[in-house]
Structure 1
Amino acid sequence: MFPGSLCQVLAYTLMAPALPFPALVIAYAINGVGIAMQDAQANGYVASLESNAETKMGVLHAVYGAGALCSPLVATQFSQLKHWSFHYLTSLGLSIVNTAILIAVFRFKSQDECLRKIGQVIPGKASEDSNNSTFRQILGHKTVNLLAFYILVYVGVEVTIGGWIVTFIIQERNGGPSSGYISAGFFGGLMFGRVALLWVNEKIGERRAIFVYALLAIGLELVVWLVPSLVGDAVAVSIVGVLLGPMYPIAMNHAGRVLPRWILTGSIGWIAGFGQAGSAVLPFMTGALSSKFGIRSLQPL
């Protein structure tokens, strides 16, 4: 996690001065590596906990939602200033604090060392798998690949809505420069849903909850697409965030239950990393379609 946090510090240092576009692309690539490393390790660690892992996973991803809620609020303010790139100084300050906290809490210990320190017994690797590399076991596991594809679609939808909805509101609903707050509402809903719907997941079962949330979200996307109301669309987008929120932690909880302990963190790394491809592919598809058919193609996609 520590090298990942350093990648973020470097990336935001390059972004803040508003260097030429190629430098910004390189900085985003470095930032992506840093986020992926921390994302995989954080999810793997929490999924490995024996006590209330499901609840803690919900809280972990609610905090992600809190960060995503704050970012558009900050970015919207800076976007109206001459030195818009100073927005990244805020991110740089947070990434430095993040690095300091990671050092103070984990002190460069491995995951197994941290788990032993809280009293968990770390099982050994199964003998029948001793001849296969960990990476080969991960890629050869059907469950891992199915979860990776699921997360690819989920992350793609989440990032596409959270980002492109601002353009949709500006162009289709005449939202004006404050449309960035719509994105904040979406991620605020994401944060709220990951904690508030924990009891629903337990009541009806996580598998059934996924289908219920997906159908409701599809219905609300139709509302955003077809109902020309700025306020109505803003509310609908926020509720879509609430419904999408629990889907990611549910997948990580499922991985923690069904995957062998010795490949869990590596598997979650692959699932999360492969899933991040969705955050590149679906927004790219949206941009390509909107350039030909207009931003109204966002909702059908």
Structure 2
Amino acid sequence: MEVELATIHPRSPHPPAEATAATESATFNNNKRSEYVETEAAAGSQSSHATQTTFPASTPTMRRKARLQFATLCWALFLAGWNDGTTGPLLPRIQAVYNIGFAVVSLNFVFNCIGFVTGAAANVWLTDRYGFGTVMVIGALAQVVGYTLEAPAPPFPVFVMGYAVNGFGLALQNAGANGYVASLKDNAATKMGILHAIYGAGALSSPLVATQFAQLSHWSFHYLVSLGIAISNVILLIAVFRFKNQETCLAEIGQTPSHESLTEGTDNNNSSKYTQMFKLRALHLMAFFILTYVGVEVTLGGWIVTYVIKLRGGGPSSGYISSGFFGGLTLGRVGLLWVNKKVGPRRAVFIYAILAIGLELVIWLVPSLIGGAVAVSFVGALLGPIYPIVMGHAGRVLPQWLLNACIGWIAGFGQAGSAFLPFLTGVLASRVGIKSLQPLLVSMMGLMIVLWALVPSASRRMD
């Protein structure tokens, strides 16, 4: 059943009691009860008169559609996790096939980041011009192109170009999915945690498959598996969101735009969204925090395999340690939801980061293969909840009319960390050895604590 918004009409002249009774009346069609609610909408910039919009309240059909939308976004994030979990187990094989060192192979991370930051910067313009549903499909198609370039193991410059195209597509989908879930009014924090747990599930699954392909002659055929998932993602996004904008999709599940999102945007006609965004101090602090966080996550998940092989005597199956890390990431994002609620999300980030530093010191200073592998999994569990907590916090402290654009920028700018820190690790490893990995990770986790302390805990109005 399609959700239809009734014609916008002027405020009722009846007394409030009568208006309330009227709006809460129920109609019965085909023995099905459909309640109606009435909300205020902002008038145009030329009119000061308030208007009201009547729309069906939540119905079984709407709830079904809401679950379908959320499941589709989870599948898109599963593919994002799958993509990020792929590189680590394949790095030693890529080095051997292309006969390149640590610094050069790290260009995979750099080009992925270039694509991601480009997508994040373009996301605001693309979404305003074409709408949420269309931009999500554009991002999914970019991933199809990226995996098509990577699957035949082309010359290395073409191979890394596939990473760039892939990063562009990931940025658009990451921004759209996070912004959409952050805009939900029904259990947004829990759904954000589940969304990123599904990301972790993808990152957990991928190394299990990539480790097997890394030992085969046709190692790059792993990207054919990724291509199949990417094609299914395109089909789902088209079928569920049908190229519609976000407001229409939310209306279909019974959620109207907030009063703030309707009014505030009209007050800033003389300045672009980019100008409004970059005035926000909280935006920049969260962006730098996520840059550090994502850098730590991707560096640990990507380089831990090489670290274990070189310094702990690990064998060809060491790629499974990367799966352990992302498995911990997945479990942490769901299993620690109750901790987030108990101690508060802001305090939880400090606790998780401090404990993760302690475990990193164990990996660094205790020369045990098994002990290190277990500690890596627990680090993943502690780092896991942090990303969804920050995205949920963005929904509380940033203006609603800029939320999608801001989240897209935070995710995109943060993705620079997924290139900078792994690349820095590669450069350091080529000079002093892979033993530089753990000191770098510990120092970056310490920086995370400092940055989070600077992020405001409550919303502030723009200047």
Shorter-chain-normalised TM-score: which range? Answer: over 0.9
Cα distance in 2 for partners of 1:29, 1:227 equals 37
The correspondence of residues 33-182 of structure 1 with structure 2, limited to 5 A, is: 33-122=168-257, 123=259, 124-126=262-264, 127-182=266-321
Q: Which amino acid aligns with 1:83?
A: H
Per-residue Cα deviation, 1:147-184 (whole angstroms, up to 9, x for no partner): 10000000000000000000000000111110100000
Q: 1:2 aligns with which of 132, 137, 150?
A: 137
Calculate the TM-score normalised by the size of structure 2.
0.64
Per-residue Cα deviation, 1:31-71 (whole angstroms, up to 9, x for no partner): 00000000000000000000100000000000000000011
Q: Which amino acid aligns with 1:25?
A: V
2:347 is matched with 208
Residue 295, structure 1, aligned to residue 430, structure 2: no
Calculate the TM-score normalised by the size of structure 1.
0.99
Q: What displacement does 1:11 show? A: 0.7
Q: What displacement does 1:130 show? A: 2.9
2:163 is matched with 28
Runs of 4+ residues deviating >3 angstroms: none
**Are the equivalent residues in 1 in contact too, given 2:332–2:385 (CA < 8 A)?**
yes
Q: Which amino acid aligns with 1:57?
A: M
Q: Greater helix percent: which structure? A: 1
- Compare 124-133 and 1-10 and name the one that shifted more: 124-133
1:245 is matched with 384
Q: What displacement does 1:135 show? A: 1.2
Cα distance in 2 for partners of 1:34, 1:294 equals 34
Cα distance in 2 for partners of 1:194, 1:130 equals 39
Q: What displacement does 1:26 show? A: 1.0
The correspondence of residues 259-298 of structure 1 with structure 2, limited to 5 A, is: 259-298=398-437
Q: Which amino acid aligns with 1:255?
A: A
The total of aligned residue pairs comes to 301
Q: 1:19 aligns with which of 126, 147, 154?
A: 154
**Are the equivalent residues in 1 in contact too, given 2:247–2:256 (CA < 8 A)?**
no
Q: 2:326 aligns with which of 187, 200, 209?
A: 187
- Compare 8-17 and 113-122 and name the one that shifted more: 113-122
Q: Which amino acid aligns with 2:141?
A: L
Cα distance in 1 for partners of 2:275, 2:187 equals 30
Q: What displacement does 1:211 show? A: 0.6
Residue 233, structure 1, aligned to residue 372, structure 2: yes
Q: What displacement does 1:98 show? A: 0.6
In structure 1, stretches of 5+ residues that fail to align are none
Per-residue Cα deviation, 1:104-142 (whole angstroms, up to 9, x for no partner): 111111111111111112131414433221111111111
What SS does structure 1 have at the residue aligned with 2:439?
coil
What SS does structure 1 have at the residue aligned with 2:275?
helix
Decide which structure has the larger Cα Rg and report it.
Answer: 2
**Are the equivalent residues in 1 in contact too, given 2:147–2:223 (CA < 8 A)?**
yes
Q: Greater strand percent: which structure? A: 2
What SS does structure 2 have at the residue aligned with 1:300?
helix
**Are the equivalent residues in 1 in contact too, given 2:326–2:377 (CA < 8 A)?**
yes
Per-residue Cα deviation, 1:73-92 (whole angstroms, up to 9, x for no partner): 11100000001000000000
Q: What displacement does 1:285 show? A: 0.8
Cα distance in 2 for partners of 1:133, 1:201 equals 36
What SS does structure 2 have at the residue aligned with 1:19?
coil
